[in-house]
């Protein structure tokens, strides 16, 4: 769940008048940070979210159902809700995918995107990038059945439905709240939980009080929060929720060991929470199990994501000139942090000085938040992939891939995702953008302000380029690892055939003699 109470700890003055950041700019960053996903991991936390189970209940009668023993997955930081909710559903279906393993197996830890088109410039970590797109890959790799449901006539479903079709993804259209509640009943009765998309404004935990205090809803931000539904009770008109997002930000940051991650929501409240989110749900069910070529398929997929193979990121992206992926996302962002590109971008945004000031600061913050999420998921993916692909020798891959970490660290700041009063100067990224914005506001000379901090921009560009180079080198090393394994298998088979032929020849000669 990703919502921010306040972006800056200070205000600034214009012609003697104190101007506070308005809600429109807050909403911009909220939309960038909010999730229909889940991800995160502060540097101080080395273990996945604690795996605990929901209390067991025995179905009492018709109109009541509850799934017990579902392992809980805390999302650990603001930004990983979808993937944490899916982790719970995946593990219930038999796939050994806690959050950190899921970063690897889904490829999101090795994925990134950068979009620059007219007045839009956004860096997207793998966890925030086309969040439904990895689901068919996960289903194929682990032999599961994963289905998406939503009402494409309401809320984000109106835009998300056509987008899913364009991405080559299938979903089932449902009829509003009636369809959503029927889906909850039938799915829980079948023994499976549902990952559902909600507006946290309506969810009862106190963690979301600030959203209610500020009046910020998903309709303002265009984004939401994924939780797991594990039960329903028609008599009480309630559903039971496991929420990965409590404790992921703000004053009460930390694992919710008080158990507030498990709670009930009445039907009318859940209807309000799901309405703008198109009543979206994801259901994971057991299937045939992993295929025989699991290792080579996953390794090949990770290589494509690291390199930024457009076809790997979705259908129809080959000719989308304004979007770059994988290593090219970092390289494309680096190219756009020049004076000429920054000026051109602000010209597309507005000629108004205040708008341009805000845009500089929010752009730096959005990039920092995205790279922080990328660093956290990438770091854990590097830890878990060698265990998932234990049959491959990944020593060279790890050596190359680890070269990106120090550069990601320099551009990352956990506080940007968990501190509602983050001052927007935690790294060289936000420091540079804020400094340029302040100098521009003071002097009214944008190009001179950028020139003054050119060395800082050059340092940022250098870090981004080093990350891109490391990702390409890692992909090359991983490709060599699984191709080498295939060659070894082929040679072993060939050797076995030679031995068999030799034995047959010897036996034949003996019989002939």
Complete DSSP assignment for 127-156: GGSSTTTTHHHHHHHHT-EEEEEE-TTSTT
Q: How many other CB atoms are found less than 10 A from the CB of residue 236?
A: 12
Question: Is the whole-model pTM more than 0.75?
Answer: yes
- Note the pLDDT of residue 96: 95
- Note the pLDDT of residue 31: 34
Domains of the chain by residue range: 12-95+144-290, 298-485
Beta strands in 286-390 (DSSP E): 323-325
Given the DSSP bridges, would you call strands 172-173 and 145-150 parallel, antiparallel or unpaired?
parallel
Answer whether residue 160 shows pLDDT above 60.
yes
Q: What SS3 class is residue 151?
A: coil
- Note the pLDDT of residue 223: 85
Answer whether residue 464 shows pLDDT above 70.
yes
Q: What percent of the chain has pLDDT over 70?
A: 82
Q: How many other CB atoms are found less than 10 A from the CB of residue 354?
A: 13
Per the prediction, the chain carries an average pLDDT of 85
345's CB contacts (< 8 A; 6+ apart) are 116, 119, 121, 336, 363
Answer whether residue 501 shows pLDDT above 90.
no
CA atoms within 13 A on the CB side of 121: 26
d(CA 124, CA 122): 6
Tell me the Cα Rg of the chain: 25
Mean pLDDT, rounded, for 306-327:
86
Which of 371, 381, 382, 373 is CA-nearest to residue 330? 371
Answer whether residue 41 shows pLDDT above 70.
no
d(CA 250, CA 246): 10
Residue scoring higher pLDDT (487 or 142):
142
Mean pLDDT, rounded, for 326-339:
97
CA atoms within 13 A on the CB side of 348: 11
Residue scoring higher pLDDT (287 or 28):
287
Answer whether residue 350 shows pLDDT above 90.
yes
d(CA 417, CA 409): 15
Least confident of 37-41, 67-71, 170-174: 37-41
CATH of 12-95+144-290, one of 1.10.287, 2.40.50, 3.30.70, 3.90.70: 3.90.70
41's CB contacts (< 8 A; 6+ apart) are 76, 77, 80, 100, 376, 377, 379, 380
Given the DSSP bridges, would you call strands 238-242 and 225-233 parallel, antiparallel or unpaired?
antiparallel
d(CA 457, CA 476): 29
Angle, helix 339-349 to helix 353-388, in steps of 10 degrees: 120
CA atoms within 13 A on the CB side of 373: 33
d(CA 454, CA 53): 52
Mean pLDDT, rounded, for 3-24:
27
- Note the pLDDT of residue 421: 85
Element (H, E) at 122: strand 120-125
Residues 197 and 278 sit within 8 Å (Cβ to Cβ): yes
Which of 216, 423, 224, 460 is CA-nearest to residue 342? 460
DSSP 8-state assignment for residue 128: G
Residues 99 and 72 sit within 8 Å (Cβ to Cβ): no
213's CB contacts (< 8 A; 6+ apart) are none
Six-digit token string for 415: 């506080």
Answer whether residue 141 shows pLDDT above 50.
yes
What would the pLDDT profile of 472-496 be if each residue is shown by its tens digit? 999 999 999 999 765 444 433 344 4
Phi and psi based region of residue 184 (left: phi greater than 0; alpha: psi -120 to 50; beta: remaining): alpha
d(CA 283, CA 164): 16
Phi and psi based region of residue 222 (left: phi greater than 0; alpha: psi -120 to 50; beta: remaining): left
pLDDT category at 61 given cuts 50, 70, 90 is: low
Mean pLDDT, rounded, for 306-320:
84
Q: What percent of the chain has pLDDT over 90?
A: 73
Most confident among 11-20, 208-217, 453-462, 484-493 (mean pLDDT): 453-462
pLDDT category at 503 given cuts 50, 70, 90 is: very low
d(CA 328, CA 334): 9
What would the pLDDT profile of 358-395 be if each residue is shown by its tens digit? 999 999 999 999 999 999 999 999 999 999 999 999 99
Six-digit token string for 160: 């998300």
- Note the pLDDT of residue 60: 46
Answer whether residue 506 shows pLDDT above 70.
no
Answer whether residue 19 shows pLDDT above 50.
no
- Note the pLDDT of residue 313: 86
Place of tokens 């945004």: 349
d(CA 266, CA 234): 10
Which of 426, 452, 454 is CA-nearest to residue 438? 452
What would the pLDDT profile of 165-204 be if each residue is shown by its tens digit? 888 889 999 999 999 999 999 999 999 999 999 999 999 9
- Note the pLDDT of residue 222: 84
Residues 330 and 370 sit within 8 Å (Cβ to Cβ): no
Answer whether residue 439 shows pLDDT above 80.
yes
- Torsion, Cα of 292, 298, 304, 305 (10° steps): 160
Mean pLDDT, rounded, for 8-33:
30
Which of 90, 169, 117, 53 is CA-nearest to residue 324? 117
- Note the pLDDT of residue 53: 46
Which of 398, 293, 348 is CA-nearest to residue 121? 348
Six-digit token string for 201: 């404004």
- Note the pLDDT of residue 500: 44
Mean pLDDT, rounded, for 95-110:
96
Mean pLDDT, rounded, for 316-323:
78
Angle, helix 327-335 to helix 454-512, in steps of 10 degrees: 160
Least confident of 19-33, 116-130, 451-465: 19-33
């Amino acid at each position: 769940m990703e919502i921010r109470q306040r972006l800056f700890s200070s205000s600034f003055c214009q012609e003697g008048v104190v101007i506070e950041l308005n809600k429109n700019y807050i909403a911009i960053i909220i939309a960038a940070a909010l999730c229909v996903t889940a991800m995160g991991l502060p540097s101080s936390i080395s273990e996945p979210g604690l795996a605990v189970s929901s209390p067991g209940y025995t179905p009492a009668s018709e109109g009541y159902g509850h799934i017990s023993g579902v392992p809980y997955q805390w999302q650990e930081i603001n930004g990983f809700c979808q993937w944490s909710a899916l982790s719970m559903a995946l593990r219930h279906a038999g796939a050994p995918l806690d959050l950190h393993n899921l970063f690897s197996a889904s490829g999101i830890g090795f994925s990134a995107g950068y979009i620059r088109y007219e007045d839009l410039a956004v860096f997207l970590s793998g966890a925030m990038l086309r969040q439904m797109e990895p689901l068919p890959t996960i289903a194929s790799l682990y032999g599961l059945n994963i289905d998406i449901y939503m009402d494409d006539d309401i809320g984000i479903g109106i835009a998300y439905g056509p987008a899913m079709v364009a991405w080559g993804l299938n979903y089932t259209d449902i009829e509003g709240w009636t369809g959503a509640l029927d889906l909850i009943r039938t799915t829980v009765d079948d023994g499976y939980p549902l990952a559902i998309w909600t507006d946290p404004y309506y969810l009862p935990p106190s963690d979301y009080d600030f959203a209610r205090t500020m009046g910020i809803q998903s309709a303002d931000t265009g984004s939401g929060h994924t939780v797991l539904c594990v039960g329903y009770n028609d008599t009480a008109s309630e559903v039971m929720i496991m929420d990965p997002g409590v404790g992921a930000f703000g004053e009460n940051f930390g694992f919710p060991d008080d158990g507030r991650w498990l709670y009930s929501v009445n039907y009318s409240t859940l209807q309000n929470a799901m309405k703008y989110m198109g009543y979206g749900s994801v259901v994971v069910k057991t299937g045939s199990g992993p295929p025989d070529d699991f290792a080579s398929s996953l390794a090949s997929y990770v290589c494509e994501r690291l390199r930024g193979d457009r076809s790997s990121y979705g259908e129809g992206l080959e000719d989308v000139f304004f979007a770059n992926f994988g290593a090219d996302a970092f390289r494309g962002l680096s190219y756009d942090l020049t004076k000429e590109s920054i000026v051109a971008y602000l010209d597309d945004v507005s000629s108004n000085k205040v708008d341009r000031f805000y845009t500089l600061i929010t752009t730096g913050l959005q990039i920092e938040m995205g790279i922080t999420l990328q660093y956290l998921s990438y770091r854990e993916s590097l830890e878990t992939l060698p265990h998932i692909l234990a049959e491959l020798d990944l020593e060279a891959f790890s050596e190359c891939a680890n070269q990106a970490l120090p550069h990601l660290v320099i551009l990352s700041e956990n506080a940007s995702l968990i501190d509602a009063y983050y001052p927007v100067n935690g790294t060289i990224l936000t420091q540079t953008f804020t400094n340029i914005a302040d100098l521009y506001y003071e002097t009214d000379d944008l190009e001179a302000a950028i020139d003054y901090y050119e060395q800082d921009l050059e340092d940022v560009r250098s870090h981004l380029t080093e990350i891109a180079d490391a990702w390409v080198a890692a992909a090359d090393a991983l490709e060599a690892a699984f191709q080498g394994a295939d060659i070894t298998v082929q040679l072993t088979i060939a050797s076995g055939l030679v031995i068999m032929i030799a034995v047959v020849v010897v036996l034949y000669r003996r019989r002939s003699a």
